[in-house]
Structure formats: C-alpha cells, structure tokens
Amino acid sequence: MYAKAKAHTNIALVKYWGKKDAELIIPYTDSLSLTLDEFYTTTAVQYDSQLQHDEFVIDGQPVNEKNFIKLTKFMQYIREISGVTAFAKVTSTNHVPISAGLASSASAFAALAAAATKAAGMNLNRTELSRIARRGSGSATRSLFGGLVEWHHGTDDATSFAEPIQERVDFGLEMTAIMLDTNIKKISSRSGMQNVVKTSPYYPAWIDVVQHDMVAMKQAIRAQDVTRIGQIAELNAMRMHALNLAADPSFTYFNADTLRAMALIHDLRNQGINCYYTLDAGPNVKVIYHKNDRPKILKALQIEFREDQLVVAKPGPGIQYLD
C-alpha cells in the first residue's frame, strides 16, 4: 500500500479570491491557471497497520501541530472514501518555497491526493482527483493538469473541479518568477480571503470582474495572443490585491521590492518590450511574456536582481506517478 506522485505548482492568470464554502473549499468564482515546470512537490504515502497515527515529514522535518491537524483531516477524508483504515507515513519534498505566494499548497495537495488514493487502491481519473485535492487546497484542484487549466467553481462537491484548456502550450507563453522573499508570509491566503469576503466593499464587483476576465482570457488563449494574456492577467491581479487594500483591517502582500519589480516591468513596456506581471498571496512577482523576449527581459532584470532570484518557468505537466 505504497505510492509516490509528483505535482507541479500553478499560477493563476485569472484568480479566485474567496470561498463560498470554506469546508468544501468551493470558491465564489471560476479561475484559470498556468502549470509551471520549475516548481513541484514529490510525495510518497505508505499505509501501515502498525502506526498509531499518521506521520508527516516535509523536507526532512516533522510538521508542526497546525499542519499536522490539517493533513490528518485530509488523510481521514481519504480513508473515508477509500475504505482503508490504516494510518500512513507521508514523506514530501518541496522544490518550491512554502507559503511564499508560489502555490506550494497546490503542488503539495495535488501530489498527496494522487499518492494517497493510489496507495489506497483507488484508480481515479484526474477530474476525480481534482475534486479530492481541492479539499486540501483550492488551487491544488488545478495542479492535476498541465498547461492552461480552468477551475469551475461549481455549487457543490460534485460540480467544483478543474479541467485542462490546453495542456500542450506551444505558442511561446513563458513566465519568470522574481524570488524577492521566500519566507513564510505573515497573512495566510486562507485568512486573507476570509477578511476580504467579509469586509471589502468591492467584493461583489470582483465576482463580475472574474466572470468577464474568464471569457476574455479564453479568447486570448484561443488566439495564442501572449500580449493579451499578459494584459488580462496583470489587471486581474491588481484588482485582486485592491480587495486587500480595501478590507478591514487593510493589508497587502507587497513589499518594497515588489513595487520595484512592478515599476521595472512598466519601464520595459514603455521601451516597447511586451511583458506583464502577476502576483498571488505573497510578495514574489511573476513576469509573463513570449519566450522570444526572454533575453531582453532577463538582461534588464539582472541589473536589479541577483541571478539566483530569477527562475525561468515554462508550461509544466500534470500529475505524474513515480517509482
């Protein structure tokens, strides 16, 4: 009763920010993301009838109490749907900073959902897995698939799932992450969303914004228009972060380096170089562009940031089973 899986992170180009059902993790809006090849998690699950409780080791260290409770709840859900009664040893390695706005929870719970169900003898398709992964982290529902992925927000557990729009992305879309701060963020995505939904006066307008952006983004993808994809993604991200500034209490994930990176992207555009940015719940900036413009963009970024802060990411694959 053993399995190992690998899942990649995804960065939302059209974002969800707020849950209608916090228990089932059903959002208020759809979302659309790009799976990235450079950031991923590998997770092994071994069920063992001798264990007295689940054991979780992440990057060589036992998890803290908060994460232990969250992960145990997820594994209990797997036991309920699989019929397996044994506890499990879960060993996970992240090739992405945790809780830094780089979607580590997406790859983590996608890999865990795949490995835990496989080890339990369940042979599920990726749509079924996306529903299960969603119960651990909303964005994990998209990491079961490669390339460009849509998450249908749905109205219940059965209708809230992801599906690929285009898994083989071969029209030059690329993303470079500017790693400004990889420390754990002070405000979690979960608490940030809750605050925004309850207190931001602009939240009803946000639901309309996402509905509009989903249509526009899918049109841009069909047209293979990287510039338009970048424009929509940047504006969508800024409107999401505006919700945070309007919440009570107001908060932001930006820091001084975030603003410096954003200003640099604006400067490059003014020079005629097509590049755009997006940000999730963290200070790290992701630059969107056509791969042909990569040399010019990296040259400019390397003046302001260290080379080890710049990670070029191409469209990545969906879930993979290892061993």
Q: How confident is the model at residue 300 (pLDDT cuts 50, 70, 90)?
A: very high
Mean pLDDT of 33-56: 97
Q: What is the 3-state secondary structure (H, E, C) of 36-74?
A: EEEEEEEEEEEEECCCCCCEEEECCEECCHHHHHHHHHH
102 has a pLDDT exceeding 70: no
Give the model's pLDDT for residue 101: 56
For the stretch 274-296, pLDDT in tens is 999 999 999 999 999 999 999 99
pLDDT of residue 56: 97
At 97, list the tokens: 């900073």
Residue 104's pLDDT is what? 83
Query: Taking a C-beta distance cutoff of 8 angstroms, is the pair 200, 240 a contact?
Result: no
> Which pLDDT score, from 0 to 100, does residue 227 have?
98
Among positive and negative, which fits the CA dihedral 193, 199, 200, 205? positive
Q: Which domains does the chain have, with CATH numbers?
A: 2-169 (3.30.230.10), 173-313 (3.30.70.890)
According to the model, what pLDDT value does residue 279 have? 95
